[in-house]
Structure 1
Amino acid sequence: MKKNIGLYFGTFNPIHIGHLIIANHMVENSDLDEIWMVVTPHNPFKKKNSLLDNYHRLEMVHLATKDYDKIKPSDIEFNLPQPNYTINTLAHISEKHPDYNFNLIMGEDNLKSFHKWRNYEAILDDYNVYVYPRISEGIIENQFKEHSKIHRVDAPIVQISSTMVRNSIKEKKNIQPLLSKEVWKYVDEMNFYKK
């Protein structure tokens, strides 16, 4: 039987404990065998100039996940055309790893705007989507409420964001509890997000 892989996309700028809580909960409380943390070079919905270099963000994901056997970093999008569209990445990764069964992981906030994604119908034709709860504005489209390919996982609601972490560092606040020890050390030594 094919290994069931959940793809958790993000800019991870930086990766924080909220990302790890969600990824670990998803892999331990669903039929997913592994979670791949896909570091996105350029999210079409985000300004690129606020992002750290791809390889610094990838390194932080390596540092954050090294003690988790079922959570792996992925740079699969680094060599794909930008901006990155999920449908293109899913097609590429499925072709590259035919022995794996890939699934998309997203927060409920993304499900609310999923109808705006490029070729979202094609994603639902070929892939399952695992959704974790988020506190957010907007409503879920009726077409997604009972869709057979959309699976809700009752994960903890985590109200930590990378933006909050970056802003707190800029304001010289202690955010050590929000990052894994190794990521905090890396961010601090590299003087990231201080300006």
Structure 2
Amino acid sequence: MPNVNVPGTATIHRVTGETNVELSLSLYGTGQADLDFSVPFLRHMLHLFAVHGRFDLTVRANGDVDVDDHHLVEDIGLALGRAFHQALGDKHGIRRYGERHTPMDETLARAVVDFSGRPAFVMLGDIPDKRIGTFPTELTREFFKSVANEARMALHLAILYGENSHHMVEGLFKAAGAAIAMAVEIVGDRVPSSKGVLE
């Protein structure tokens, strides 16, 4: 299936020996999420991500979850990052930078992004529980790293404080969605770089 791209949208089909991921993204949507894959906690988090980023997001995916969730979570992250990169095109007119602090009850999370064309990922803060339901919390880091690498953006995440692991991860997804929405907002009439290009 070929990748189809119109301004602000992307469709990605990623197939490996471990997973099959079909993902569609609209940057300037209404926050609608249609998610069908067998990692319940990530489905919940991506729904929140879409709502707070006002992205329209569809994901149909399956993989070797009988082994564990790692490959499917990572590959959905890779497909989502690639969709952001394709949907932004030459990044003409976007704000480029975005940031958001998001409280989630006792937790405060922060996300800062730059669609620079240079992938970088930093995540500060420890999630105390090893699992939330059946979801290994170490996959939070793997997911966002995959998104950042394929989107070719600098993504800096931090759990500033908190107690509840669910709240911590939820805060990160909400903050990331809102920060990315800010960064992709059309605010000008040029590529926002002194070099005149963002790859």
TM-score bracket relative to the smaller structure: under 0.3
Richer in strand (by share): 2
TM-score, normalised relative to structure 2: 0.25
Richer in helix (by share): 1
